[in-house]
Structure 1
Amino acid sequence: MPVADRPTARPRSAYVPRAATKRRRPSQPRATRTDVTTLAARLTPRDRWLTEMLHEHRVLTSHHITTLAFTHHRCANRRLRALYFMGVLDSFRPLTLSGSAPEHYTLGRSGADILAATRATTLESLGWHKDLCTRTAFSPTLDHDLTVNDHLVTLAAAHRTNSEERLALWLSPRSATRLWGDWVRPDAYAHWAHGPKVVPFFLEHDTGTERPLTRLEAKLPGYASLAATTGTRTAVLISTSTRHRERALHARLTETTAQMQLPIATTCAELASTTGLAGPAWLPVNHAGNGRLTLAALAEHWPDLSPAMTTNNEAPLGQPAAWQPVSPLPPGQGDH
């Protein structure tokens, strides 16, 4: 099965502040709008999975969705357009300084209605707002959030070229904060599986604007406290902007990492875009060996890793006990 265009095809030019274009839907009288029950019957399992993913991760581009759930970009765009006109999805296209950006999708009103009905809750409890699409389009953290999603989407799609590799779990910052917000607020939490090996990790993405580096260093005591409180040992992976910043980060974290006994590894944008997060891009802090390690090799480098996500903390605060993480892949593609 061919791999769709990688999400890194998204233009890297900066978004123009507070500028976005949005497609218009044909106006439809209230009396003739499709009710939720009728609309739900028109959705496929993949469509329902997509509403869950967009609720979890807030925004995904057409490239992300193609990579995760389709084999061809044209087929993806056709279905996404249909879901948009049904109101299941909302979308916008940011204006860039050069080139053009792909369509960016968020959860629409009809999709939120169906999701709320499925979970036996309300839109208010679901946390969906009617201006979600606008807030997302003009968010100052949009590019940061999409870069994090780029990394995780690439990992999720790895199963297409290597059946032994898969992203078994992917939690958004919102879910991670609900679970561990008293200690840490990572950009993502995930489990990377390579055969029988599993690497649980928190991901911190540094855009290079968090100056000084003490801001990143200040997050480490929270991870140490989480490990001491829960009795777990989870890797902290930091993606930085440049090799120079990565070297400076290593110099800054060497002593702190040794004192707190935290498993920390770093990479930079140049390596991450070339090898992907699964490749030999990771350099553990205080690493005595030569060269960088693959994501799977971190399990051998730190054989005592254990997941922070357990059956005892599956339900975030304020969520029903039956809450379950969303599979990074649609039904039928993530089973191994």
Structure 2
Amino acid sequence: MSALPRPAVGPGSRYTARAATTRSRPARHTDVAALARTLTPRDLWLARMLHEHRVLTTHQIANLAYTSLRSAQRRLRTLHQHAVLDSFRPLTQTGSAPEHYTLGPAGAAVLAAHTGCDLASLGWRPSHTGRIAYSPSLGHDLGVNELLTRLAAHGRTTPRTALSLWLSERSCARRWGDIVRPDAYAHYREGDRLLPFFLEYDTGSQTLSRVAAKLPGYASFAAAADVRPALLIHTRTASRDQGIRCRLAAPARELNLYIATSSADFTTTSPWGPWWSPIGPGDTRRTTLTSLTARWSQLGPASALEPTDADTTLTLPVPPLPPEAEAEA
């Protein structure tokens, strides 16, 4: 089987194509109504998370919602058996990839029932998992989700720390797509300090000029909404990071944007740490996410986050962590 298009470096660079699920399921039809006595609040939360963020690996789900990898694997197998989840495991050139989970047909039907819509309105199709497995953007999507799941999971073990909000690229486009289209928007909180930020996850596939061309949109957003979230740009390597910083220094200063950059050379396991270097006048040494809030006096959360009459259960933000009642399960 020939390899599909994939990033030259970074998450997904080693993936080759295989979109088949790795586990068999009973041929019988899943009774969606019967799932009402089977699915827990955490299961429903996970279905919403996968609807929002498309794909999560076993390890990402375990970090967010379980106390051990084994307990996560056991429950995920059960949800796969009931078709609440679909899964695939891409081939790699070396070693093996973890199981990748997506929303399954029964999970989609449950979410549709919760909101009183049909599967077409939900945006789910029978080809849903295959399209994700074969997508050239799989590595990019996994990179975004890995960065933010680590920030969210950090809050489970660190008092007064939380990723209190996490919007996917699709949710960002629904709210602000006429001005900006970031890869994610999030709120990271530590104590009394809040860092609202847009995330641009750079895999190195775009030219530096194209990266710079996104900045006027963020400046227009800040002017129109009279708020100024930070813009975090995460790159694959330190050398790419330096190239972006040199290219963006002048426009960032002219547009008065709050920008900080880092790369996977630093943030692999602790993206909240002292790895982020601000662009602009003043001290540009690497610092933590929360320390950035002290540098930027006009920092503020984005607009259009309050629920409206047009919102449904599925358009409201999904909590990055599951219900606390199951935290020890």
Give yes or no for TM over 0.5: yes
- Comparing 167-176 with 236-245, greater Cα deviation is found at 236-245
Task: Kindly provide the amino acid, as one letter, of the partner of residue 132 in structure 1.
Answer: H
Q: Report if aligned partners of 2:12, 2:140 keep a CA contact under 8 Å in 1.
A: no
Matches within 5 A, 1:82-231: 82-210=78-206, 212-231=207-226
Matches within 5 A, 1:246-325: 246-273=241-268, 276-289=270-283, 291-312=285-306, 314=307, 319-320=311-312, 323-325=315-317
Q: Report if aligned partners of 1:66, 1:73 keep a CA contact under 8 Å in 2.
A: yes
Q: Report if aligned partners of 1:279, 1:295 keep a CA contact under 8 Å in 2.
A: yes
CA 1:321 to 1:143, structure 2 compared with 1: closer, same or farther past 3 Å?
closer
Name the residue aligned to 1:3: none
Scaled by the length of structure 1, the TM-score of the pair is 0.89
- Comparing 89-98 with 325-334, greater Cα deviation is found at 325-334
Unaligned runs of 5+ in 1: 1-10
C-alpha separation between the residues in 2 aligned to 1:322 and 1:59? 16
Please say if 1:330 is aligned against 2:322: yes
CA shift for structure 1 position 21: 4.0
CA 1:186 to 1:236, structure 2 compared with 1: closer, same or farther past 3 Å?
same
Q: Report if aligned partners of 1:16, 1:94 keep a CA contact under 8 Å in 2.
A: yes
Scaled by the length of structure 2, the TM-score of the pair is 0.91
The percentage of aligned residue pairs carrying the same residue is: 48
Q: Report if aligned partners of 1:207, 1:240 keep a CA contact under 8 Å in 2.
A: yes
C-alpha separation between the residues in 2 aligned to 1:193 and 1:64? 20
Q: Report if aligned partners of 1:254, 1:286 keep a CA contact under 8 Å in 2.
A: yes
C-alpha separation between the residues in 1 aligned to 2:236 and 2:168? 21
Task: Kindly provide the amino acid, as one letter, of the partner of residue 320 in structure 2.
Answer: P
Q: Report if aligned partners of 1:90, 1:107 keep a CA contact under 8 Å in 2.
A: yes
CA 1:254 to 1:16, structure 2 compared with 1: closer, same or farther past 3 Å?
closer
CA shift for structure 1 position 287: 4.3
SS of equivalent residue, structure 2 residue 62: helix
CA shift for structure 1 position 37: 1.6
Name the residue aligned to 1:22: 21
1:40 to 36, 39, 43: 36
C-alpha separation between the residues in 2 aligned to 1:206 and 1:334? 35
Q: Report if aligned partners of 1:13, 1:97 keep a CA contact under 8 Å in 2.
A: no
Residue by residue over 1:134-189, the C-alpha shift from the partner in whole angstroms, topping out at 9 and shown as x without a partner, is: 00100001011101111000000112331111100000000001111001111110
May I ask how many residue pairs the two structures share in their alignment? 318
SS of equivalent residue, structure 2 residue 266: helix
CA 1:315 to 1:187, structure 2 compared with 1: closer, same or farther past 3 Å?
farther
C-alpha separation between the residues in 1 aligned to 2:219 and 2:248? 13
Task: Kindly provide the amino acid, as one letter, of the partner of residue 324 in structure 1.
Answer: L
- Comparing 215-224 with 17-26, greater Cα deviation is found at 17-26
CA RMSD between the two structures: 2.1
Task: Kindly provide the amino acid, as one letter, of the partner of residue 249 in structure 1.
Answer: I
CA 1:303 to 1:204, structure 2 compared with 1: closer, same or farther past 3 Å?
same
C-alpha separation between the residues in 2 aligned to 1:85 and 1:133? 15
1:72 to 68, 72, 77: 68
CA 1:204 to 1:322, structure 2 compared with 1: closer, same or farther past 3 Å?
closer
CA 1:290 to 1:263, structure 2 compared with 1: closer, same or farther past 3 Å?
closer
Please say if 1:241 is aligned against 2:239: no
SS of equivalent residue, structure 1 residue 291: coil
C-alpha separation between the residues in 2 aligned to 1:302 and 1:121? 43
CA shift for structure 1 position 319: 4.6
Name the residue aligned to 2:51: 55
CA 1:225 to 1:106, structure 2 compared with 1: closer, same or farther past 3 Å?
same
C-alpha separation between the residues in 2 aligned to 1:149 and 1:109? 22
Task: Kindly provide the amino acid, as one letter, of the partner of residue 183 in structure 1.
Answer: I
- Comparing 303-312 with 49-58, greater Cα deviation is found at 303-312
- Comparing 320-329 with 118-127, greater Cα deviation is found at 320-329
